[in-house]
Structures are given as C-alpha cells and as structure tokens.
Structure 1
Amino acid sequence: MFAYDEDSCDGKKECELTPGVPFLKDPCVGTYKYLETTYDCFPAIYFATCEDSLANLQCDEGKIIFVYGASFGRHDHTTCSYKRPTSQLQRIDCSDHSCKVANTCNGKNSCTIRATNSEFGDPCYSTYKYLEVAYTCVSILNV
C-alpha cells in the first residue's frame, strides 16, 4: 500500500522521492524493492515570488491560466536570499502545497496574488519564504 502524496511532485520542474518512504508497511520483508512511476511533462511557466511580494500570472489574449501546482515555503538556501540574514535561510524543508493559487487564478487571463503568511499560512516560522508556481496558458477554445 502506498502512502505517497501525489501533490508532492505536482507543478515542480524536478521531484525526488526518498526510497522507502512511500510504503506504510513493508509487504515483503527482506526483498529488494523499487518504486515504479509514470509521469507526463507539460510546458509550464515556472517562477518564484519572494515573501511579501506579488505574484503576477499573465496569459496572452484569448488564453486563460491553468495552474499545475504551487507551494509556499523554502526548498533551498539561494532563492529569494538577497540581503537576508543566514538565520532566515537555514530551514529548507518547509513548504505547504497550496490550491489557493489555482482556486484564485484558474480560468482567468491574468491574476495577482500576494505571497504572504496571511494568504498561505506559515509553514516555517522565522524563515523567509517564497511562493513557487507552475502554470500554463490554454486557449479558451480548448476549455
């Protein structure tokens, strides 16, 4: 049985699953196992917006936004790190997958959302966070 959270990879350019984590219990003790998965790659606009800034999603005329995924938190030491004290960049294992961007922006030609704790909650207290978004623009005729 898998305990894999499918949202953990949605919308990301790269995704890594730690071996052994997807299983709730070992169905075959002493047997070597592997994880087999399938995936599709879709063209996406990918960006990160620093905490307390605005994320602007924009499509050409006649197209609308479709959000693949979004998360608010921190995954590395370098994104949105300019002039930030090291203490605010140490924790890189904190983020919350968010449907808020999709719920707010899907179906619109353009959308602006604020990357703040009040919008997304605070997945890692005292850490300077950023909002990561992956989306595409689809033709209104294809909807």
Structure 2
Amino acid sequence: MASRVAGEGATRATDPVVRETLSVISEDEGRHAELAWDIIAFALERGGRGAKEALRQALSALESQQTPALPRIPGVDEDFLTRNGVLPQAELGRLMAVCIERTRARAEALLEPSSLPARHGPIDFQGVPASSPRDAVPVEAAPRG
C-alpha cells in the first residue's frame, strides 16, 4: 500500500522535488514488500502446516483492514494537497481495495503447493528481484556482478 500511495502521489505532484522524493519512496517500499513476500514464501516452505494456517488466518482478517484516514487540515484544500502528492481520501480507498485484492490473490497462489520456489543453500537477496514467487530466480542461477 505504501508503495502504491507514494507512486500515485508522485504522478500527481507538480513540484519536481516532491515527485522525485515520492518516486524514491515508492521504489523503496516496493522492495520492502517484495522482501516480505520472499520471507512469507520461505516461511511457508519451512513452516509447513502451521505457517499455511497462519497465512490463511491473516487472509481471513484482510477484509477488516481499514483505509488510512487523512486528517483534516484547516485552511488547506484538497487540490493543494494533491499537487503536493497527498492523495484524496477516495483514492486511498480505491488503492486499499486494489491492494487487498492483489494481496489475497498472491497469498492464495503461495498456498498452492507448486508455487513455492525451490531453494537450496543460503538465501541471497542481492540482485534477485522477483515480482512474484513464480518469477523468483534460484540463488544458483542468479547472475553475479
């Protein structure tokens, strides 16, 4: 969610410094999210039935997640905030719905037995970007640079 909010804020911001800052934040948060998915995949691989049940419980609680609420700032209009990368409340709600849907789909895919990446040896996160578990590059196949 943080990556998407920052990325969308960057596209709407008119100040180039704000736009660049939000772009960097979006990329950084995206990397954090991918690392979290790698950790979940690892936990499912190693944790067996208990880890799968924990993920299923987290999925059942997913719908209860609340959209972040923007505080009211007296004297500051929504257009000013939007020009500075702050998304309107309705947009936050839309992004939250998208994030919940994508999170659910990705987590359910991880629960499928064939979707967990086979790992051998130590895990190396250097230079191994993966947009999904199916795109993960095994450590042995990762190019070294």
Range into which the TM-score falls when normalised by the shorter chain: under 0.3
Whose relative contact order is higher, 1 or 2, with alpha carbons under 8 Å and at least 6 apart? 1
Report the TM-score, using the length of structure 1 for normalisation. 0.25
Q: Report the structure, 1 or 2, having the larger strand content.
A: 1
Report the TM-score, using the length of structure 2 for normalisation. 0.24
Q: Report the structure, 1 or 2, having the larger helix content.
A: 2
